[in-house]
Amino acid sequence: MLKANRRTLIITSIVTILPMLIGIIYWDRLPDVMATHFGMNNEADGFSSKAFAVFGLPVFLLAVLWIGAFVTSHDPKSQNISPKMFSLVLWIAPVISLVIAAIMYPVNLGYELDIIFFSELLLGLMFIIIGNYLPKARQNYTVGIRIPWTLANEENWNRTHRLAGYLWMVCGILMIVICVTRCIPAQWLVGLLFIMVLVPCIYSYWLHAKRGL
């Protein structure tokens, strides 16, 4: 699987460390201690050295990318992981790296940025994309809702992922609507995340306990 996706792995690796160039270009303008984490009020609540922010974060995400690729490709049921799903796994770390750079560098260069709006919008899009893929995921030990009941029964896996796919897409759309309209506080989005995690797990257990799946 790694050999078949060598080109994608190289491209995603390059994209993951690409934010280093921004840090190098603006090195003299960046503060020695950079804000790297932000709370729900758009205020910085986590800081790192400039060297770690510019070089450490991309290298860490590069390691995550390669570990994820290795683990996924060596899954005992790797034949059930489609090329599109494997490609999605490879693109998670690069996207996170770009998102971090898009937030971290402007803020540390003195620009005002609505971090919560930006984060909610990207989260919503991400959940819509993942939700679209979930119903197509076949039983494996690496990608998907890997709980005892889905791993023990293929029909349980398929039904749970079908429900989760629709649920994640709906929640992703709701996140974008909430993000744009500001109809409820951002803190309430945590409730959507709990729903996205708990409902498929409860449904899977119900299929196991009541339907024998």
DSSP-derived secondary structure letter, 134: G
- Pick the more confident residue, 103 or 44: 103
**Residue tagged 């299929």 (tokens):** 207
pLDDT of residue 117: 84
Instruction: Record the pTM.
Output: 0.86
Q: Using CA atoms, how far apart are residues 105 and 122, in angstroms rounded to an integer?
A: 17
3-class SS letters over 22-42:
HHHHCHHHCCCEEEEEECCCC
pLDDT band at 69 (very low <50, low <70, confident <90, very high): very high
pLDDT of residue 78: 86
Does residue 166 contact residue 127 with C-beta atoms inside 8 Å? no
Write down the pLDDT at residue 70.
93
pLDDT, average across residues 55-76 = 94
Report the alpha-carbon distance of residue 211 to residue 110 in Å, rounded.
Answer: 58
- Name the residue with higher pLDDT: 76 or 58: 58
- Per-residue buried b or exposed e for 139-166, using 16+ beta carbons within 10 Å of the residue's own CB: bbbbbbbebebbbebeebbbbbbbbbbe
